[in-house]
Structure 1
Amino acid sequence: MCGIVGAVSTKNIVPILIEGLKRLEYRGYDSCGVAVHQGGELRRARSTARVAELDARVAEDKIDSGTGIAHTRWATHGAPAEHNAHPHFSPGPQNKQGTDQSGVTAVGRIALVHNGIIENHDELRNELKTRGYVFDSQTDTEVIAHLVDHLYEGDLLAAVQQATLRLRGAYAIAVFCRDEPHRVIGAREGSPLVLGVGVGERKGDFFLASDAMALAGVTDQIAYLEEGDVVDLQLGKVWITARSHGGVMFKTVEREVRTVHVHTGAAELGPYRHYMQKEIFEQPRAIADTLDAVEAITPELFGDGAYRVFKDVDSVLILACGTSYYSGSVAKYWLESIAKIPTSVEIASEYRYRDSVPNPRTLVVTITQSGETADTLAALKHARSLGMKHTLTICNVATSAMVRECELAYITRAGAEIGVASTKAFSTQLVGLFLLTLALAQVRGHLSEQQELAHLKALRHLPVAVQAVLALEPQVIAWSEIFARKENALFLGRGLHYPIALEGALKLKEISYIHAEAYPAGELKHGPLALVTAEMPVVTVAPNDALLEKLKSNLQEVRARGGELFVFADADTHIESGEGLLVIRMPEHYGVLSPILHVVPLQLLAYHTACARGTDVDKPRNLAKSVTVE
């Protein structure tokens, strides 16, 4: 979701800006653009197509410069249209933006890109209109550009600082001015922004990006800007200011520049049709890598001081969104049955908007693939404001905001996940959450040495077990041809497999656009059974656990109504294929870790159904990878 790249250099930085946007394409976007300081004027190109088309347009229009900004936009305010695409210009009051002879917009004094949402944009828009500013878009971003222009009195840093004091909401911005060549200002509040420091032949150059991945191959020297920071990039020098004195004054601050190695090999598609397929098949390796350093169960897997924290807590609160919420829902079963600790799971986007009863002895666990999910970060801060100081994150990005905000962390090693629909991040989250369960159980006296060894043995065998499930792909493809002709589907599960049914339904919705719902199988007769017909396929997760016989009864309820069942069953469940009942047998029963195996064929089913329907698997409509706005 929305990407920013900016740079100041003595060399042409347009190829770096474009390449940075390409590295951020996985986040999802519906328009893109680049703006530079060239020939004493602002020039830009924008597109509602892919970055490759923007690149061609930039080359055709001969746009090059040592100062510039670029952006990929996921529409929030205003439709996905070129006039709403970033960068936005402000030509000053009572001026219309014009074009030069090549059709490239050239009239303007301020150029700006923005991630996030400005909550008071209507108020600011009305004020700026009275001052003579004309708006050419429906975006909240254009408001910031005009506001900076209004406050500009010859010093862009001062104008941006003063503008940030007027903004309410979340933002990361990069801005430059026609009257100050070789200068770019960045600012952030509630949305990530990093500073890149040039090395080698790029020494003296400075870069901005919303994600360090955008700067891979350019620099590995990264400083993570903090809330309220404003950074000033000039040739050969950079400084950062932060608010002080009640938030209305700014002082110079230092931010640590660290070496950040961003691996880009995961972005290579290889022999796979889509990144999602590649990432599904990478799960055995991702799980093995996530477990690589685990030789024994110990609280210190989650950071220094974890033992003290785990001894102090008496409950767990899990905060997450989307797929991560479903991994947390599985973990609730584990934590309560194995660690014997009361656990609640909250949708992060809802949690901070309701009255809750805080408990200072609660361990607040956030789950996020990117570590930048705006709703989850906000929920974490809300929990802390209620006095819950013990925080831990399960996250896939060690340098993310979430890791920096939390007291403890477990970093999954899924690698870069390009497909919008999460797969390997989900399975590695479950691994991290199971390790957390065992560590808490150990501290609370509910894990014997024999149990620890048995669980570790099962964990280490997981990559092999998942590989065996992936071998079921040809059978799943046959089912997908049936599902591709449907418009609705029902998913059923019981116990700790109910969240897996939810995740399977979500995957089908996300990438095939088939309406899908999931229910606990025991709830069928309380309403959903009314939907069951021959046109409503019913997918069922059927492990050989304590609820199997109950589940078999639920399956009979579907068959009696003419419904068609598609069952993923453990080998020893004695559920046989027949009229209206198709069965794919899982290679083995895996006990409490069974959800990690059973989610894999559901991922494959969604993927191959989407392929059969011809949808854009890796970039499903209306969705973005990293959701950095509320």
Structure 2
Amino acid sequence: MCGIVGYVGKKEASPVLIHGLSKLEYRGYDSAGVAIIEDNLLKVTKCKGRLANLEAKLNENPIHGAVGIGHTRWATHGEPSDLNSHPHSNEDETISVVHNGIIENYLQLREWLSAKGYKFMSETDTEVIPHLVDYYYKGNLEEAVMKAITKMEGSYAIGVVSTHEPGKLVAVRKDSPLIVGLGKDEFFIASDIPAILNYTRDIYLLNDKEFVVINEDGIKLLTEDGDEIKKDVFHVTWNADAAEKGGYEHFMIKEIHEQPKAIKDTMTSRIVLGKPIALDKITITKEQLANIDRVYIVACGTAYHAGIVGKYAIEKLARIPVEVDIASEFRYRNPIMNEKTLMIVVSQSGETADTLAALREAKKYGARVLAITNVVGSSVSREADDVLYTWAGPEIAVASTKAYTTQLIAMYILALYFADCKGTLSTDEIESIKAEMLKLPEKCEEVLKHKEVLQKFASKNFMHKDMFFLGRGLDYAVAMEGSLKLKEISYIHSEAYAAGELKHGTIALIEKGTVVIALATQEELFEKMLSNVKEVKTRGANVLAFAFEGNETVEKTVDSALYIPKTAEILAPVLSVVPLQLLAYYIAVQKGCDVDKPRNLAKSVTVE
């Protein structure tokens, strides 16, 4: 959500900020702006809409200066507008601020500041920050920012510049991601690595309530009490090209095609035939596992759907009962947790606000927390007891694809490790599943070759307003993810249903021409699934089915079918989700939607 970039150096700040913001467009936004200090004056340019609008304004009226901050805003308080866009400044335009997150007590602060004579121009929560900094400013910008945050409740990543100290940038974070880039005679702040990767690969990862003070002399890291901090430099190893389209029309289709490699990379060194499952530095012993009496998998959105597959896998293979919870609901239902609880949190970015809150709640109760995430150094990875990384590489499109499939692989790795510890599967059974897992990248490549059926179906059905996804068992879990992908990028209303529930109300929605996507990869449930498909066909539905190769009898029941390579049933979700991703993509393209940046959505949801 939102994007921050800041620069202090010897270059013109404006192009650096615009370039950085362009690399953060994937996070979702509805307005953009910059504040640059030019000749000891604060120059602010901002506007509603895409970054191109901001660039056009800056081309007409350039700002020259080597210190500045930039922002892409995703509206929370106040509609998208020029006025509500960031940066926000104090009344005499000597202090300017960019902010990600939500100041929860902004109304009280606004009332308090108004009583002291401060005037507000926007509807945003952010505007209280420059006024607070102004109120506390007594000749030292970092001290003023430190005092200001003691009054603020909520989440934030903040960048501040001021004409009082024109060569300085001060930044701080709490529950919202912020990194510091270390260049040669130049320094950066940013919400995410791609924003600064063209300039440096060396960064500091800020923890909550850690400050950075940057000026032309260098950089200082401080605690909230003003004590200096020493940090290790984190060196980014992945290539900047990984965050480029590489000839594809959209990031989403590129990332769908990157799944075979991502799946393989996530298994590398962890799944090796003839050797025990390797969990990096995670050491959950047989004795510790035996002491665990409750397992929660907690996540949001696509990661939650991966968690549902994880529940099936862990319960089936390791015979451990698992509850799956939506992170935004978890901590509000007073869950039962103690030192015998294992929580598995799943977050692509490692910065998901609700997932972080659930993690912290679990830690209060003494639970052990294992994180599955794609981002090294993220908040989730630093705060969890154990981390299992998904090596998907940077995922830029808002709608997650390769992050999901690698999360599934991580779940299978955990399930097999637990099964081995508990002795619920024989060595031969474990080796058989491992052998099938190692074939998944090649089989995923095969699925990607069969696009014609999906493109044809999309071209004939993109105009529909409703679609339904049906499945049983693991197929139902995948149907949920397929439905979400379609909603996210095509704006078609879609729902996923457990096929056995049709008779309990859902079938009332089926009429002539209703589009139904049916998954039928579970052999034990195959005949039952076909019966459910016949029920919707009888009522006029237009059905596209997905089944394993060899089950061509499904064609007698449906209108169209696509067959995926045969694999172990429990691993089917890794392959069956790929055509659902492609289907959503082709439908969205047919509709002319902004595939990589769907409306109202953000890549990383860092506010509750």
Structure-1 separation of matches of 2:38 and 2:238: 31
1:57-76 to 2 correspondences below 5 Å? 57-76=57-76
Asked whether the 8 Å contact 1:31–1:74 carries over to 2, the reply is yes
1:406 maps onto 2:387 in alignment = no
Asked whether the 8 Å contact 1:317–1:365 carries over to 2, the reply is yes
1:257 maps onto 2:233 in alignment = yes
Task: Give the deviation of 1:466 after TM superposition.
Answer: 0.8
1:126 is aligned to 111
1:50 is aligned to 50
1:211 maps onto 2:187 in alignment = no
2:323 is aligned to 344
1:571 is aligned to 549
Asked whether the 8 Å contact 1:6–1:207 carries over to 2, the reply is yes
1:335 maps onto 2:314 in alignment = yes
Task: Give the deviation of 1:399 after TM superposition.
Answer: 2.0
- Deviation by residue 1:114-157 (Cα, 9 ceiling, x = unmatched): 00001001111111112222211111111111111111121111
1:175 maps onto 2:160 in alignment = yes
1:449 is aligned to 427
In structure 1, give the amino acid aligned to 2:140. D
1:115 maps onto 2:96 in alignment = no
TM-score, normalised with respect to structure 2: 0.96
More deviation, 7-16/332-341:
7-16
2:369 to 391, 397, 410: 391
1:369 is aligned to 348
Structure-2 separation of matches of 1:18 and 1:262: 22
- Deviation by residue 1:521-554 (Cα, 9 ceiling, x = unmatched): 0000011000001132111101142111211221
Task: Give the deviation of 1:585 after TM superposition.
Answer: 2.3
Structure-1 separation of matches of 2:533 and 2:83: 53
Structure-2 separation of matches of 1:303 and 1:270: 34
Asked whether the 8 Å contact 1:393–1:402 carries over to 2, the reply is yes
SS at match of 2:423: coil
In structure 2, give the amino acid aligned to 1:280. I
1:234 maps onto 2:212 in alignment = no
Task: Give the deviation of 1:344 after TM superposition.
Answer: 0.7
In structure 1, give the amino acid aligned to 2:227. K
1:287 maps onto 2:268 in alignment = no
Structure-1 separation of matches of 2:259 and 2:193: 24
Asked whether the 8 Å contact 2:468–2:496 carries over to 1, the reply is yes
1:612 to 583, 590, 598: 590
Task: Give the deviation of 1:562 after TM superposition.
Answer: 2.1
Task: Give the deviation of 1:478 after TM superposition.
Answer: 1.0
Asked whether the 8 Å contact 2:270–2:278 carries over to 1, the reply is no
SS at match of 2:524: coil
1:101 is aligned to none
More deviation, 54-63/124-133:
54-63
More deviation, 344-353/226-235:
226-235
In structure 1, give the amino acid aligned to 2:479. A
Structure-2 separation of matches of 1:52 and 1:563: 43
- Deviation by residue 1:416-448 (Cα, 9 ceiling, x = unmatched): 111111111111110111001101111111232
1:403-552 to 2 correspondences below 5 Å? 403-552=381-530
Structure-2 separation of matches of 1:323 and 1:187: 30
- After the TM superposition, which parts of structure 1 deviate over 6 Å for at least 4 consecutive aligned residues? none
Task: Give the deviation of 1:47 after TM superposition.
Answer: 2.6
In structure 2, give the amino acid aligned to 1:224. L
1:6 maps onto 2:22 in alignment = no
Task: Pick closer, same or farther for the CA change 1:596–1:16 going to 2, 3 Å.
Answer: same
- Percent identity over the alignment? 44
Structure-2 separation of matches of 1:309 and 1:79: 51
Structure-2 separation of matches of 1:617 and 1:184: 35
Asked whether the 8 Å contact 2:518–2:544 carries over to 1, the reply is yes
Task: Give the deviation of 1:501 after TM superposition.
Answer: 0.4
Structure-2 separation of matches of 1:222 and 1:559: 57
Task: Give the deviation of 1:294 after TM superposition.
Answer: 2.5
In structure 2, give the amino acid aligned to 1:45. T
Task: Give the deviation of 1:590 after TM superposition.
Answer: 3.5
Task: Pick closer, same or farther for the CA change 1:305–1:586 going to 2, 3 Å.
Answer: closer
Structure-1 separation of matches of 2:556 and 2:430: 41
Asked whether the 8 Å contact 2:238–2:393 carries over to 1, the reply is no
Structure-1 separation of matches of 2:521 and 2:271: 29
In structure 2, give the amino acid aligned to 1:39. D
1:303-342 to 2 correspondences below 5 Å? 303-307=281-285, 309-310=288-289, 312-342=291-321
Structure 1: give runs of 5+ residues left out of the alignment.
93-107, 244-248
Please tell me the root mean square deviation across aligned C-alpha atoms, in Å. Answer: 1.7
1:39 is aligned to 39
- Deviation by residue 1:304-337 (Cα, 9 ceiling, x = unmatched): 4333754543432111000000000011001001
Task: Give the deviation of 1:223 after TM superposition.
Answer: 1.1
Structure-1 separation of matches of 2:214 and 2:410: 39
1:151 is aligned to 136
More deviation, 487-496/360-369:
360-369
Task: Pick closer, same or farther for the CA change 1:596–1:492 going to 2, 3 Å.
Answer: same
- Deviation by residue 1:441-481 (Cα, 9 ceiling, x = unmatched): 11111232212221221111001111111122111111112
Task: Give the deviation of 1:170 after TM superposition.
Answer: 0.3
Structure-1 separation of matches of 2:592 and 2:60: 32
Asked whether the 8 Å contact 2:269–2:278 carries over to 1, the reply is no
Structure-1 separation of matches of 2:235 and 2:449: 40
Task: Give the deviation of 1:517 after TM superposition.
Answer: 0.4
In structure 1, give the amino acid aligned to 2:539. R
Task: Pick closer, same or farther for the CA change 1:193–1:270 going to 2, 3 Å.
Answer: closer
Structure-2 separation of matches of 1:439 and 1:184: 47
Structure-1 separation of matches of 2:94 and 2:130: 9
TM-score, normalised with respect to structure 1: 0.93
Asked whether the 8 Å contact 1:225–1:255 carries over to 2, the reply is no
Structure 2: give runs of 5+ residues left out of the alignment.
none
Structure-1 separation of matches of 2:440 and 2:589: 28
1:98 is aligned to none
SS at match of 1:623: coil
